[in-house]
Chains A and B, each alone.
Chain A
Amino acid sequence: QQQVKQSPQSLIVQKGGISIINCAYENTAFDYFPWYQQFPGKGPALLIAIRPDVSEKKEGRFTISFNKSAKQFSLHIMDSQPGDSATYFCAASPHDYKLSFGAGTTVTVRA
């Protein structure tokens, strides 16, 4: 039973466009919501993370939006670049322990 549901499964965006990936969760004990980026043949690496005391966090071209009442959070990639082509996983956990991951979104940025 997947505790974090992620969509879409894949998306294609033109260079300079915006990529949006959405995630939803049910467990109200979750209080840590990271996004991981994975390139082929590599392990996932932390991209950005948010805790529920804020509704938005921005780091460079990457922004997490968090809606606690709806139990949803999303990743926005602004000005998408070919180097952003990767698989992105949302995740959630209580107190940083034992992350539950979404199924992943493969992002392809066309030059």
Chain B
Amino acid sequence: GAGVSQSPSNKVTEKGKDVELRCDPISGHTALYWYRQRLGQGLEFLIYFQGNSAPDKSGLPSDRFSAERTGESVSTLTIQRTQQEDSAVYLCAEQSFGPGGLPAGELFFGEGSRLTVL
């Protein structure tokens, strides 16, 4: 299950605009995560998808953030009314399911979408 494609790789937007970030895992039927990485900081969990549902949205920082996944594959992270503090690299990762149908083992990350809000 290696290989995650993210787009756009870079996005510059004005404060108040909406942005959509896309994640396209190569493998289907995997767990999918979104993380945020602010400059010089660690990775911050945003949301977890199992299939097309998101049983854990606890990391979304505000109601301006939403995400969906379709076809147990492509996922889109949407940020509405962007703010300067949203500037970060948004990383998507996929993970296989182990015995028992739970996520297991290595996370495979994409190269991220760098968002700059002016």
Q: Is A96 an interface residue (CB 8 A)?
A: yes
**Complex CA–CA separation, A99 to B43 (angstroms):** 9
25 pairs of residues in contact across A and B, judged by CB atoms under 8 Å: A34-B106, A42-B111, A43-B109, A44-B91, A44-B109, A46-B106, A46-B107, A89-B42, A89-B43, A96-B98, A96-B102, A96-B103, A96-B104, A97-B102, A98-B45, A99-B43, A99-B107, A100-B45, A101-B35, A101-B43, A101-B44, A103-B41, A103-B42, A104-B40, A104-B41
Nearest CB to that of A102 among chain B residues? B42
The proximity string for B residues 75-118 relative to A, scoring 1 for CB distances below 8 Å and 0 otherwise, is: 00000000000000001010100100011111101111000000
How many residues of chain B get a CB closer than 8 Å to chain A's CBs?
A: 25
Does B4 interact with chain A (Cβ within 8 Å)? Answer: yes
User: Is B68 an interface position by the 8 A CB rule?
Assistant: no
- Chain A residues within an 8 Å CB radius of B111: 41-43
Most buried by A among B4, B48, B91, B103: B103
Cβ contacts under 8 Å, A2 to chain B? 42
Total chain A interface residues with beta-carbon distance under 8 A: 24
Inside 8 A of B4's CB, which chain A residues have their CB? Answer: 43
Chain A residues positioned under 8 Å from B41 (CB to CB)? 103-104
A104 near B42 with CB under 8 A, answer yes
Question: Is B95 a contact of A96 with CB atoms below 8 Å?
Answer: yes
- Which 4 residue pairs are nearest across A and B when measured between Cβ atoms? A43-B109, A101-B42, A101-B43, A103-B42
Is A96 in contact with B43, judged by CB distance below 8 angstroms?
no
Instruction: State whether the Cβ of A95 lies closer than 8 Å to any Cβ in chain B.
Output: yes
Cα distance, A49 to B109, chains bound together (Å): 16
Quick check: is A6 within 8 A (CB to CB) of the other chain?
yes
| Minimum C-beta distance from A86 to chain B (A) | 14
Are A43 and B110 in contact (CB-based, < 8 A)? yes
B42 CB contacts on chain A under 8 angstroms? 2, 4, 6, 89, 101-104
